[in-house]
Every structure is written in C-alpha cells, then in structure tokens.
Amino acid sequence: MPPYTIVYFPTRGRCEAMRMLLADQGQSWKEEVVTKETWLQGPLKASCLYGQLPKFQDGDLTLYQSNAILRHLGRTFGLYGKDQREAALVDMVNDGVEDVRRHCGRLIHHNYEEGKAKYFQELPERLKPFETLLVQNQGGQAFIVGDQISFADYNLLDLLLNHQVLAPSCLDSHPLLLAYVKRLSARPKLKAYLASPEHMNRPVHRAQKT
C-alpha cells in the first residue's frame, strides 16, 4: 500500500500542488474521493480536526491544512531550501501564493461572472512579486528560490496553471512566469502527471465555471 493517502473532493483545489510534488518526486499515493453527498451527511466533516478537507495520511500521521501538508512534504523530500535563509524565502513565497489563491477562491465561489473581468485586470499586479523574485534568482532561469525545486514551486505552478485554465492568456504580460510554467511542466515525471487523466479530468474547483 502507498504510504500516503489524500482524502479530498474530486477536484484539483487544495490538493493538486501536493499531488504534483509527490508525482515529481516519484512517489505513489492513494486517493479517497469524497462526494458532496457524503460530505453533507456530516460524519466525515465532524471527524476532521478543523471540519474541512483535505485530510492527508502519512503512515500513522494524520495532517490537515493544505499548506501544513506541503511543508511536511517539503521537509520529507528536502524541498525546503538549502539553508535557513532559503527556507524563510520559500515560506514567504508560499504565503504569497496563498494570498492569490484566496482571491481566486472568492472569485470562483461567489461572483465569477460579475467579477472575472476586474479580477483578471488586477491579476498582473498580484503576480508581479513572483516575477520580481524570479528576476532576482539567476535572472528568472531557475526556480522561485535557490537552485533546487521547493514545495513553493509546486504550489506556485499549480496556482498559475489553474489561472491558465480560467484565462489562457493571463500570463502573457509576465514572460518570465510563462517560461517558468513551461520549464517546470517539462520535468519528465511532472510532465507525465500533468498529461494523465487523473489530472486532466479534475476541475480546478468544485464550483469551476468557464
């Protein structure tokens, strides 16, 4: 049996970055898919520490909160920078990704049709910090921090790919981010995962609209 289990809804949502990380690191995992009907019945929700998913099993360790899970996997696979300085920058990037993810979640779940034009008009400014960090790190030809991939790279890549699903040209004003997406997506194991039905058939969010 795989040592890892992801318990989540049938979407990319809060779990796709950890799936991409595991796939790229050559790991296998089990999926326990939770339907809306099962969730609304109540017992599973009541059993979750914070009353929400994802739930992540690593052997006998149970974790909740998607960013805590990513940090755990970052420590497990050496994806947390090469020293304390890089680790601090990786944490900063991941918090920045969370900020944008929350904005996107509000758009998707509350006012997509009315708010999408304004959201994507403001998106370049929200993405600007990540392009700035890329420029500062080997002129944008490497990872978001340092010279090795980190868990924040997977989270940022997932965020950018999701936005491209919603608006395919949304990165055109950020050529370094566009190149970053292409470069990371070409990593052999990650490329295979991104082309798999498991990834392709999952909507970005439960309330995804196009």
Residues of the chain above pLDDT 70, percent:
97
Question: pTM here?
Answer: 0.95
Q: Are residues 74 and 93 in the same domain?
A: no
Q: What is the CATH number of the domain that holds 35?
A: 3.40.30.10
Beta-bridge partners for 63: 56
The domain in which residue 53 lies consists of 4-79+193-201
Q: Are residues 19 and 42 in the same domain?
A: yes
The number of folded domains in the chain is 2
Q: What is the pLDDT of residue 206?
A: 64
From 12, 6, 14, 17, select the one nearest 165 (Cα to Cα): 12
* Position 82 pLDDT exceeds 50: yes
Q: What is the CATH number of the domain that holds 175?
A: 1.20.1050.10
Q: Are residues 197 and 105 in the same domain?
A: no
Q: How far apart are CA 17 and CA 152, in angstroms?
A: 9
Q: Is residue 207 part of a domain?
A: no
Task: Convert the pLDDT of each residue in 29-74 to its tens digit.
Answer: 999 999 999 999 999 999 999 999 999 999 999 999 999 999 999 9
Q: Are residues 175 and 103 in the same domain?
A: yes
* Position 207 pLDDT exceeds 70: no
Q: Which residues of 133-152 are buried (b: 16+ CB within 10 A; e: fewer)?
A: bbeebeebebbbbbeebbbb
Q: Is residue 209 part of a domain?
A: no
Q: Are residues 138 and 73 in the same domain?
A: no
Q: How far apart are CA 138 and CA 148, in angstroms?
A: 12
Q: Is residue 34 part of a domain?
A: yes
Q: What is the mean pLDDT of residues 160-166?
A: 95
Q: Are residues 182 and 197 in the same domain?
A: no
